Amino acid sequence: MNGGSADVRAVVVDDHPVVRDGLVAMLGADPGIEVLGSAQDGAEGLRLIDRTAPDVVLMDLRMPGTSGTEAIRELRRRDRDRPRILVLTTYDTDRDIRGALEAGADGYLLKDARREDLLRAVHDLAAGRPVLSAAALAVLAGSRDPGPQLSGREVEVLRLVADGCTNRAVASRLGIGEATVKTHLGHVYEKLGVTDRASAVRTAWELGLV
């Protein structure tokens, strides 16, 4: 664990000691991340999160006792947006992915992700940008639940945001002004009942809108 003025405060919840210690070491080696602690199951993770108030939680799914999905659901019952929750698991079934995202996870990666991708994911989530594996994207792309209607342009903007584009990059790709991009995102937030980019992308995917 590192100290100082790290940009992102993180907690790791995983029942495998080797994986847990490896994640703590990996994150702690990044000067922009401070690891506040680790826990071996969902219940212990909830207590740790209560004490430390992290920005990002790396959460395994299948753990003895309180599962990751149950812990995520409880965290979202308390606060819809904080902390950001990154599921990091070996499981990529439709059921696991959908269950975690419906519970309120902001990101979903597999444990075979590259070190640089994982570190980037933690920083992206802390900044409000969504992070999803290819498997998670495929599951969400198949969702067709009814929901609010977005315009064609709003969908285009949201898809580029989901790809990690900044407002400036979205504007460049679509040939519109940056202020127009912000206006479209404002309309999307209002329609979906959210307040930031990550929540907008997650909700839109859950509703089958993008």
User: What CATH number corresponds to the domain at position 84?
Assistant: 3.40.50.2300
Q: Confidence class of residue 155 from pLDDT cuts 50, 70 and 90?
A: confident
Q: Secondary structure of the chain in the HEC alphabet?
A: CCCCCCCEEEEEECCCHHHHHHHHHHHHCCCCEEEEEEECCHHHHHHHHHHHCCCEEEECCCCCCCCHHHHHHHHHHHCCCCCEEEEEECCCCHHHHHHHHHHCCCEEEECCCCHHHHHHHHHHHHCCCCEECHHHHHHHHCCCCCCCCCCHHHHHHHHHHHCCCCHHHHHHHHCCCHHHHHHHHHHHHHHHCCCCHHHHHHHHHHCCCC
Predicted pLDDT of residue 144 = 45
Residue 108 has pLDDT above 70, yes or no: yes
Query: Residue 177 burial by CB count (10 A; 0-12/13-18/19+): exposed, middle or buried?
Result: exposed
> Model-level pTM greater than 0.95?
no
Domain edge (last residue) among 120, 141, 162: 141
Domain edge (last residue) among 91, 117, 141: 141
Q: Confidence class of residue 145 from pLDDT cuts 50, 70 and 90?
A: very low
Q: Confidence class of residue 49 from pLDDT cuts 50, 70 and 90?
A: very high
Residue 178 has pLDDT above 80, yes or no: yes
The more confident residue out of 132 and 30 is: 30
The more confident residue out of 209 and 61 is: 61
Predicted pLDDT of residue 6 = 63
Residues 132 and 164 in one domain: no
The average confidence (pLDDT) of the chain is 85
Q: Is residue 64 part of a domain?
A: yes
Mean pLDDT, range 70-77, rounded to an integer: 92
Q: Is residue 122 part of a domain?
A: yes
Q: Confidence class of residue 34 from pLDDT cuts 50, 70 and 90?
A: very high
Residue 146 has pLDDT above 90, yes or no: no
d(CA 50, CA 61): 19
Which domain CATH number covers 162?
A: 1.10.10.10
> Domain residues for 51?
8-141
The 10 Å Cβ neighbour count of residue 18 is 8
The more confident residue out of 90 and 147 is: 90
The more confident residue out of 15 and 98 is: 15
